Amino acid sequence: MSGGGAPIYNRVALIGLGLIASSMYWAMKRGGVAGHVTGYARSEETRETARRIGLCDTVCDSAEDAVAGADLVVLAVPVGAMGTVAEAIAPHLAPGATVTDVGSVKKEVIAAVGPHIPEGVHFVPGHPLAGTEHSGPESGFSTLFDNRWCLIVPVAGSDPDAVARLTGFWQALGALTDEMDAEHHDLVLAVTSHTPHLIAYTMVGVADDLRRVTDSEVIKYSAAGFRDFTRIAASDPTMWRDVFLTNKEATLEILGRFTEELFALQRAIRKGDGEHLHAYFTRTRAIRRGIIEAGQDTDAPDFGRVKMDR
Amino acid sequence: MSGGGAPIYNRVALIGLGLIASSMYWAMKRGGVAGHVTGYARSEETRETARRIGLCDTVCDSAEDAVAGADLVVLAVPVGAMGTVAEAIAPHLAPGATVTDVGSVKKEVIAAVGPHIPEGVHFVPGHPLAGTEHSGPESGFSTLFDNRWCLIVPVAGSDPDAVARLTGFWQALGALTDEMDAEHHDLVLAVTSHTPHLIAYTMVGVADDLRRVTDSEVIKYSAAGFRDFTRIAASDPTMWRDVFLTNKEATLEILGRFTEELFALQRAIRKGDGEHLHAYFTRTRAIRRGIIEAGQDTDAPDFGRVKMDR
Note whether B47 and B18 are within 8 A (CB).
no
pLDDT at A232: 84
Per-residue pLDDT reduced to its tens digit, B150-160: 999 999 889 99
Q: Which of residues 200-229 of A touch B (CB under 8 A)?
A: 200-210, 212-213, 215-229
Q: Which of residues 56-85 of A touch B (CB under 8 A)?
A: 80
The tally of CA atoms less than 13 A away on the side-chain side of residue A291 is: 31
The pLDDT profile of chain B, 310 residues, written as one tens digit per residue, is 444 578 999 999 999 999 999 999 999 999 999 999 999 999 999 999 999 999 999 999 999 999 999 999 999 999 999 999 999 999 999 999 999 999 999 999 999 999 999 999 999 999 999 888 888 999 999 999 999 999 999 998 899 999 999 999 999 999 999 999 999 999 999 999 999 999 999 999 998 888 778 878 888 888 778 888 888 888 889 999 999 999 999 999 999 999 999 999 999 999 999 999 999 999 888 777 777 777 777 665 543 333 334 4
Q: Do domains B9-180 and B184-293 have the same CATH topology?
A: no
Per-residue pLDDT reduced to its tens digit, B247-282: 999 999 999 999 999 999 999 999 999 999 999 999
Q: Cβ of B65: how many Cβ atoms within 10 Å?
A: 16
Cβ <8 Å between A227 and B296:
yes
Quote the minimal CA–CA distance from A38 to chain B in Å: 18
Please give the backbone phi and psi of residue A23, each rounded to the nearest 5 degrees, phi first: -65, -40
Per-residue pLDDT reduced to its tens digit, A199-233: 999 999 998 888 778 878 888 888 778 888 888 88
pLDDT > 70 in chain A, percent: 94
Question: Which of A26, A185, A270, A288 is the best mutation test for B, with the most CBs of B within 10 A?
Answer: A288
pLDDT at B306: 37
**Ramachandran assignment for B54, one of left (phi > 0), alpha (psi -120 to 50 degrees), beta (any other):** left
Say how far apart CA A152 and CA A163 lie, in whole Å. 8
Cα end-to-end span (Å), chain B:
37
Say how far apart CA B202 and CA B213 lie, in whole Å. 16
- The more confidently predicted of residues A35 and B293 is A35
The tally of CA atoms less than 13 A away on the side-chain side of residue A6 is: 4
- B238 interfaces chain A, CB cutoff of 8 Å: yes
Q: Under CATH, domain A9-180 is a member of which superfamily?
A: NAD(P)-binding Rossmann-like Domain (3.40.50.720)
Give the start-to-end residue ranges of the domains of chain B.
Answer: 9-180, 184-293
- For the structural domain made of B184-293, what CATH number should be given? 1.10.3660.10
pLDDT at A223: 74
Per-residue pLDDT reduced to its tens digit, A57-80: 999 999 999 999 999 999 999 999
- A115 interfaces chain B, CB cutoff of 8 Å: no
Q: Tell me if residue B157 falls in helix, strand or coil.
A: coil
Residues of chain B found within 8 Å of residue A207, distances taken between Cβ atoms = 191-192, 287
The confidence band for A307, taking pLDDT boundaries of 50, 70 and 90, is: very low
